[in-house]
Amino acid sequence: MTTEAKSPTSGVQLVEITAENEGQRIDNFLLTLLKGVPKTLIYRILRKGEVRVNKGRIQAPYRLVVGDIVRVPPLRLPEEKPQATVGAGLTRTLEQSILFENDQLLVINKPSGLAVHGGSGINLGLIEALRQIRPQSKFLELVHRLDRDTSGAVMVAKKRSTLTALHDDLRQGRISKIYHALVTGHWSKRLQKVDAPLKKNDLQSGERVVKIDPEGKVSITEFRLLESYEHCSLIEAKPITGRTHQIRVHALHAGHPIIGDSKYGDETMNRLLKTQGVKRLFLHAAELRLRLPGSTERLIITAPLESDLKDALVRLRG
């Protein structure tokens, strides 16, 4: 089925569930179907029993089954803004950035500056662009996310079953994600792990800042020195947990903020390294290690650095 609702809508919607949405929680299904509707309203209509499956009341954790008839009550949706059109340049860039693809999974080497999805003033993200470029694909969903300024490997599921299986593997720690980062100062070979709890803080401006906090969530990152330069170091970072801004804040906590980081970085070093060509956040998702659902073969996918960062490293070595 197509998970798009017209805006605004009136009257009751009856939606029959197909294999595309089998196993999905009803709350997540409604969040996708009713784009723009506040989460609070979604959970309110579930709690009040206004959403029915096969004429019966259900709770948010209910998982959909093929053939289920979902009754959605009449809701007035916000007017949808016209989505930006993917240009020829971005289409070419994304097609050339495919690192791996089969009938289950698509892995893209996301360029820096492209958000993984739209929202918060961003009309077009990676997933929206892929859906436009590949209208024949009935299902494309992000398996995980990268910050807008972080480049590198992003997984996109092409089947609901793949998405569910990979989400489970991420939760169980069966997928390894390895990043490369350029940080200030000389990273010690003895500094191999940062174990410091992280807590999100939303400022009045709406900006989100993550800080080390004893009351925060357990957060662990393993580090390894790759190469040293005069004023900075190239390191490998392997997040054991998956917290927002984890690598950036743990690097700062270790005394070595990432070069080009406007939120957690060192402004003086950022200006200095700009002269060497590092004009954005030097954080790159360089490698993924996983098993495809239904397979015993271990898959290793590597994402090459963008040319501007490669050139900057050459200058630093010189």
Positions annotated as catalytic residues are: 147
DSSP 20: G
| Residue 81 DSSP one-character state | P
From CA 182, how far away is CA 232, in angstroms rounded? 7
Q: What are the residues whose beta carbons fall under 8 Å from the beta carbon of 99, sequence distance 6 or more?
A: 107, 108, 109, 153, 301, 302, 303
Strands 283-291 and 176-184: antiparallel
Query: How far does CA 222 lie from the centroid of its chain?
Result: 20
DSSP class of residue 21 equals G
Query: How big is the chain by its Cα radius of gyration, in Å?
Result: 22
Q: Is the dihedral of CA 20, 296, 144, 173 positive or negative?
A: positive
Q: Where in 213-297 does DSSP place strands (E)?
A: 220-228, 232-239, 283-291
Q: Which two tokens stand for residue 33?
A: 């179907």
**Any alpha helices (H) in 201-266, and if so which ranges?**
246-253
